[in-house]
Amino acid sequence: MGGALLAIRDLFVEFKVYEGKLKVLNGVFLSVREGQRVGLVGEAGCGKTTTMKCVLRILPSPPGRITKGEILFRGEDILRMPPRKVQRIRGRGISMIFQDPTAALNPVFTIGDQLMTVIRYGSHDSLTRREVRQRAIKALAEVQLPDPERIMASYPIQLSGGMRQRVCIAMALATEPELLIADEPTTNLDVTIQDQVLRLLNELVVRRKTSVIFITHSLGVVREMADWVYVMYAGNIIEGGPKGDLFREPLHPYTRGLMRAVPKLTGGGIAEGIPGRIPDYLDPPPGCRFHPRCEHAMPRCSQKNPPFRPVREGHEVACFLYQE
């Protein structure tokens, strides 16, 4: 593992809405090293997808606005790059699988049209029309779709949900990106095929040694698919570290609550939840955004947002409990 491939530092994002400004990201820190599989865990609405859209500079704006921070890809700040350069990073440098394959595929163009466009513009090398087509068919075969020729001529509505997500995986990997962002790629699929798709995705990235950011709200998935884990809460990364260490000894009260909330196979009644709910982004609590729900809250928790700091080798946390 070399240096950081991607480093997000102190990222702030606001959404302008009728009622005011939603302060969605509140200083996000995250980094991915080459060949690393990073899991990003958090409740729905905590800002995982927003963060990733910033990485590709595809956050719809308006209403979204990045107010502060930097996103370094191979040492260069994506947020301050000219659009041309950003476009060269998209596809061949970083690509993304969206949560809902039905929404991510254009309903009025064939799979072949969309996949070939992605290959033509996102590939490292310039290809002839025939080579583009061959690569598209190969990409579909690689995600184990039967009869790729027929899939190429199909429209998204002619495919099942699982097939659509395989198509999206094929699209994301066809340009051989260095970093793949997988945003809850199985949340919208039937439970019976979630496992298949996950396994396939894991196999493909391990074989290609692609770095991955795997977004999920399931700790089980992270346990299987990631080497490194970040936990996000209400617009902040609150804890991050090597998987083993983090699962063995979670530090942040929120992470601990999250682990307790996983139902155990051995029974013992319903799992505990975390009391309270995710804060209102229009008027978030001052200081640490978790403090109103935290059983260890101290006076200063409501005054200052705790910095994200290493506690021991590689294991970082944003909590005053661990800072003198």
Residues in contact with other proteins by CB under 8 A are: 53, 56, 58, 60, 62, 83, 87-92, 95-96, 98, 100, 103-110, 114, 117-118, 121-122, 155, 157-158, 168, 171-172, 175
User: Is the Cβ–Cβ distance between 243 and 226 less than 8 Å?
Assistant: yes
Q: Work out how close the CB of 185 gets to other proteins at its nearest, in angstroms, rounded to a whole number.
A: 12
In the bound complex, what is the minimum distance in angstroms from residue 60's beta carbon to other proteins?
A: 5
Comparison of 97 and 246: residue with beta carbon closer to other proteins: 97
d(CA 223, CA 227): 8
Closest CB to other proteins among residues 103, 282: 103
Please name the residue ranges forming H helices in the chain.
Answer: 48-55, 83-89, 101-104, 111-122, 129-142, 148-152, 161-174, 191-208, 219-225, 243-248, 253-260
Q: Which of 281, 233, 288 lies closest to 23, judged by CA?
A: 281
Kindly list the distances between the CA atom of residue 118 and the CA atoms of 171, 176, 292, in Å, as whole numbers in the listed order: 7, 11, 46
Q: Name, in order, each residue with C-beta under 8 angstroms of 106's C-beta and a sequence gap of 6 or more.
A: 114, 156
Q: Are 295 and 253 in contact (CB under 8 A)?
A: yes
Closest separation in Å from C-beta 175 to other proteins: 7
* Least distance between other proteins and beta carbon 264 (Å): 35
Nearer to other proteins, 96 or 225 (CB): 96
- Name the phi and psi angles at 276, rounded to 5: 85, -175
Q: Is the Cβ of residue 106 or residue 160 nearer to other proteins in the bound state?
A: 106
In the complex, what is the shortest distance from the CB of residue 34 to other proteins, in angstroms, rounded to a whole number? 20
Query: Running DSSP on this structure, what letter comes out for residue 295?
Result: T
Nearer to other proteins, 185 or 241 (CB): 185
- Quick one: 26 or 114, whose CB is closer to other proteins? 114
Rounded to the nearest whole angstrom, what is the least distance from the CB of residue 144 to other proteins in the complex?
21
Give the torsion sign (CA, 176, 177, 179, 185): negative
- Residue 90: CB minimum distance to other proteins, A: 4
Instruction: Give 89 or 246: the residue with its C-beta nearer to other proteins.
Output: 89
- Smallest gap, in angstroms, from Cβ of residue 276 to other proteins? 31
Residue 89 — φ and ψ, nearest 5°? Answer: -80, -35
DSSP 3-state percent helix, strand, coil across the chain (nearest 5): 35, 25, 40
Q: Is the dihedral of CA 140, 101, 9, 46 positive or negative?
A: negative
Question: Which residue, 16 or 277, has its beta carbon nearer to other proteins?
Answer: 16
Cross-strand bridge partners of residue 226: none
